[in-house]
Amino acid sequence: DTEVTQTPKHLVMGMTNKKSLKCEQHMGHRAMYWYKQKAKKPPELMFVYSYEKLSINESVPSRFSPECPNSSLLNLHLHALQPEDSALYLCASSQDRGTGGGRQPQHFGDGTRLSIL
C-alpha cells in the first residue's frame, strides 16, 4: 500500500482533450514531485513543489501545467498532448527538500498510466 494516492490509475485521451492527474498525500510532506517514466527507463523529473511553490520546472512543454492547491494536493493539467507523451506519470512526496546530507527519501504513488491516441 502506498501513502501517496494518484488518480486516475489509467487514462486514455485524444490529442485535443483536456484532463487532469491528481495526487494526494497526508504524511505532512512539504515537497511534492511529478515524474514521467517510459517503459524500462528511470523516472524523469518534471516539476518540484516546495512549500506549495514551484521550485523546479525541468523545461517541460507548456502542454503540461502543474498546480499545488494546498500542501496535500498536487495536480497535473494536460492539454493538447502528443502520442510521445504516453507514459507512466508518477507523483512523489518527501518531508521537505533538505540540503546536502539532509535529503529526504521520496515516497511514490502508484502512478497514472497515460495513453494518448
CB atoms within 10 A of CB 92: 24
97 sits near other proteins (criterion: CB under 8 A): yes
What number of residues does the chain have? 117
2 sits near other proteins (criterion: CB under 8 A): yes
- Residue from 29, 43, 78, 81 that binds other proteins (CB under 8 A)? 43
Q: How many Å apart are CA 93 and CA 105, to the nearest integer?
A: 8
Minimum CB–partner distance for residue 81 and other proteins (Å): 21
Q: How many Å apart are CA 84 and CA 15, to the nearest integer?
A: 11
41 sits near other proteins (criterion: CB under 8 A): yes
34 sits near other proteins (criterion: CB under 8 A): no
Q: Which residues contact 33 (CB under 8 A, 6 or more apart)?
A: 45, 46, 47, 48, 49, 91, 92, 93, 94, 106
109 sits near other proteins (criterion: CB under 8 A): yes
101 sits near other proteins (criterion: CB under 8 A): yes
- Residue from 56, 61, 77, 117 that binds other proteins (CB under 8 A)? 56
45 sits near other proteins (criterion: CB under 8 A): yes
Residue 31 CA, chain-centre distance (Å), reads: 12
Q: Which residues bind other proteins (CB under 8 A)?
A: 2, 40-45, 48, 55-56, 58, 90, 97, 100-101, 103, 105-111
